[in-house]
Chain A
Amino acid sequence: MSISVNGNAVQVPDDPRVSLLDLLRDGLHLHGTKKGCNQGACGACTVLVDGERMLSCLSLAVQFDGRSITTIEGLGEPGALHPLQQAFVEHDGFQCGYCTPGQICSAVAMVEEVRRGVPSHVTSDLNSNVIDFSHDEMRERMSGNLCRCGAYNGIIDAINETLKEAAE
């Protein structure tokens, strides 16, 4: 029974009550992933599960036996930042930084969802697989990540920057 966390095999906790979030923070001391509300309302605990964004607070670690988790620490580290981490620094994508790991993990998967053609609440043509990275699409798709400091404009700028770089 093991979960891959940032490429390392990790033992599934014996007690099934341990949430994925508590395994990451208390068990593995990966403190990047944050506990904002512990009830699904803020997005601070967002991690990637086999590349898809999910909330680590609303699930039990044992549910992820056999799956691959990437946390903010696995995306990049000082000296080798993920392009989106770098863009957050350059565009003031945060103030206190508490929501930031969740924002970044969420945005990385969000971009993949758009590329895959997953529709959103503001997508007008459901029969098209080509979705614009419009301002409205981005705001709607990032609405599961709250920022109490209101750094939203910087967050959207940072995401736009990496999209532009990727397109070049």
Chain B
Amino acid sequence: MIPFSYARASDVQDAIAKGALGGTKFLGGGTNLVDLMRETIERPTGLVDVTGLSSEITETRDGGVMIGAAARNTAVTEHPLIRSRYPALTRAIVAGASAQIRNMATVGGNLMQRTRCTYFYDGEGSHCNKRAPGDGCDALSGFNRSHAILGASDACIAVHPSDMCVALTALDAMVHIEGSDGSRSLPIKDFHRLPGDRPDIETMLQPGDLITAIELPASSIAANSTYRKVRDRASYAFALVSVAAALEIENGNVRDVRIALGGVAHKPWRAERAEAALRGKPAGEAAFLAAAEAELAAARTFEGNAFKVELARRTIVSVLTELSGGAV
């Protein structure tokens, strides 16, 4: 690690003031940032610890839930409001990492963890446009089994590793941000970026911007939601493909639906084409399959990851079938 200073933020204004210094980064649990600093891939000159800021999980006036960015991942999964009203979120978080890491990781840090691949970590031995823009991407013609099938560019085909963010995307979460020019909010589907020709820029945050909270809107569909993660081993592994979905059926037809995919793109992928293809259709395997096809028609695969298209198709159909329960 290169030398850096460490300070704790006492409140949001203090964090913004301290975070405004060039080279400074906010520190959550440290599970991603400390690791990358040890590899000297991240080289902040100062850390501002924001774990003392709001970690509260409270019901909002209109029946949604506000989650302070410093809330630990475990605290979110075990909260009664989340378990009962947004089960996809609990299911997604417990599918990620290990209990130890979930006890450390904050919601803000989970959103901001780097989109990455093994070449990104291999600072000495590999070319990576995300680490060094213009350097090239060894994954394109290398080991790309875990890489993206949607929305990638020739500059970078890495996938966003978060499970939590996939559920938040299906649940229409809002990200609340505080910066030197005041506060703003972004729907989570617009928060992360596709790689384009700047894979080193992963979110819409400007330097010094602080995530203060995540808000889940009140939603009737969210209560019938779930998360399915397909991976190489049963636990403690990143997703090959994951699906977060919510479904509402009325008189046998799909009244409303939300679908988001993980493990397939540089960002949590909201499957809006699949949703559009499904609304109003008779709930059942034919419509679920057509919806999956509509989303995956744009897939572009590489030597190692072509299997992900079929895997995503089947997982989408299976999750929607599960959510349709006895109704179909």
Question: Complex Cα distance A52/B73, Å?
Answer: 13
Chain A residues, Cβ within 8 Å of B154: none
Chain A residues whose CB sits within 8 angstroms of the CB of B49 once the complex forms: 63
Known interface pairs A19-B34, A121-B94. Does A59 touch B29 (Cβ–Cβ under 8 Å)? Answer: yes
Q: Complex: how many Å from CA A16 to CA B7?
A: 10
Interface pair B4/A120, CB less than 8 Å apart: no
Task: Mark the stretch among B13-21, B100-108, B241-249, B266-274 that contacts chain A.
Answer: B100-108
Determine the chain B residues whose CB is within 8 A of the CB of A38 once the complex forms: 38
Contact across chains for B77 and A118 when beta carbons are under 8 A apart: yes
Query: In the complex, what's the smallest C-beta–C-beta distance from A127 to chain B, in angstroms?
Result: 6
Q: Is the CB of A126 within 8 A of B95?
A: no
Are B84 and A16 in touch, CB under 8 angstroms?
A: no
The residue that B31 contacts in the complex, of A55, A123, A139, with Cβ under 8 A, is A55
A17-B4, A118-B78, A121-B95 known; A58 and B35 CB under 8 Å?
Answer: yes
Q: Which residues of B contact A73 (CB under 8 A)?
A: none
Residue of B nearest to A41 (CB): B236
- B residues near A101, Cβ cutoff 8 Å: none
Which residues of chain A from 1 to 56 have a CB within 8 Å of any chain B CB?
15-17, 19, 38-40, 43, 46, 52-55
Asked if A119 and B100 sit within 8 Å, CB to CB, the answer is no
A119 / chain B contacts, CB cutoff of 8 Å: 77-78, 83, 90, 94
A99 CB to closest chain B CB (Å) equals: 13
Q: What is the minimal beta-carbon distance from A6 to any residue of chain B, in angstroms?
A: 19
Q: How far is the CB of A80 from chain B (nearest CB, A)?
A: 26
Bound Cα distance A55, B29 (Å):
10
Q: Report A-chain residues with C-beta under 8 Å of the C-beta of B4.
A: 16-17
B6 contacts partner chain A, Cβ-Cβ < 8 Å = yes
Q: Chain A's nearest CB lies how many Å from the CB of B32?
A: 8
Binary interface profile of B, 202-242, with partner A (CB < 8 Å = 1, else 0)? 00000000000000000000000000000000111000000
Q: Determine if B103 and A40 form an interchain contact, defined as CB atoms under 8 angstroms apart.
A: no
Number of interface residues of A (CB under 8 A): 37
Q: Which of B27, B90, B99 contacts A113 (CB 8 A)?
A: B99
Chain B residues with Cβ below 8 Å from A70 are none
Inter-chain CA distance A103–B288, complex, in Å, is 43
Contact present for A144 and B104 (CB under 8 Å): no
Given A16-B47, A55-B104, A144-B101, are A126 and B30 neighbors across the interface (CB < 8 Å)? Answer: no
Contact with A along B31-52 (1 / 0, CB 8 A): 1001100100000000101010
Q: B90 contacts which chain A residues (CB < 8 A)?
A: 119, 126
Complex contact B34–A141 (CB within 8 A) = no
* Beta-carbon contact of A40 and B77 below 8 Å: no
Of B4, B31, B98, which is in contact with the most chain A CB atoms at under 10 Å from its CB? Answer: B98
What CA separation (Å) do A58 and B4 show in the bound complex? 16
Interface residues of A (CB under 8 A from B): 15-17, 19, 38-40, 43, 46, 52-55, 58-60, 62-63, 106, 109-110, 113, 116-121, 123, 126-127, 139-141, 143-145
Q: Is B5 an interface residue (CB 8 A)?
A: yes
A106 contacts across to B, CB distance below 8 A: 99-100
Taking a contact as CB atoms closer than 8 A, the residue among B35, B91, B95 that contacts A40 in the complex is B35
Give the distance to chain B from A60, nearest Cβ to Cβ, in Å. Answer: 6
Cβ distance B1 to chain A, nearest Cβ, rounded Å: 5
Q: What residues of chain B lie closer than 8 Å to A15, measured between beta carbons?
A: 3
| Complex alpha-carbon distance, A145 and B34, angstroms | 20
Report B93 CB to chain A, min CB distance, Å.
9
Is A54 a contact partner of B235 (Cβ separation < 8 A)?
no
Of the candidates A52, A58, A121, A123, the one whose C-beta lies within 8 Å of that of B235 is: A121
Contact at A144–B6, with CB atoms within 8 Å?
no
Chain B residues closer than 8 Å to A143, beta-carbon distance: 98, 234-236
Of B5, B83, B95, B236, the residue contacting A144 (CB under 8 A) is B236
Q: Collect the chain B residues with CB atoms within 8 Å of residue A19's CB.
A: 34
B87 at the interface (CB under 8 A from A): yes
List chain A residues, Cβ under 8 A from B97.
40, 144
Q: Once bound together, how far apart are the Cα atoms of A48 and B261, in whole Å?
A: 34
List 4 A-B pairs, minimum CB-CB distance, nearest first. Answer: A144-B98, A143-B235, A16-B6, A126-B83
A113, B94: Cα distance in complex, Å: 13
Q: Does B74 contact A (CB under 8 A)?
A: yes
**CA of A43 to CA of B29 in the docked complex: distance in angstroms?**
16
Which residues of the partner chain A approach B77 to less than 8 Å between Cβ atoms? 118-119
Distance (Å) between the CB of B130 and the closest chain A CB? 18
Q: A63 touching B27 by the CB < 8 A rule?
A: yes
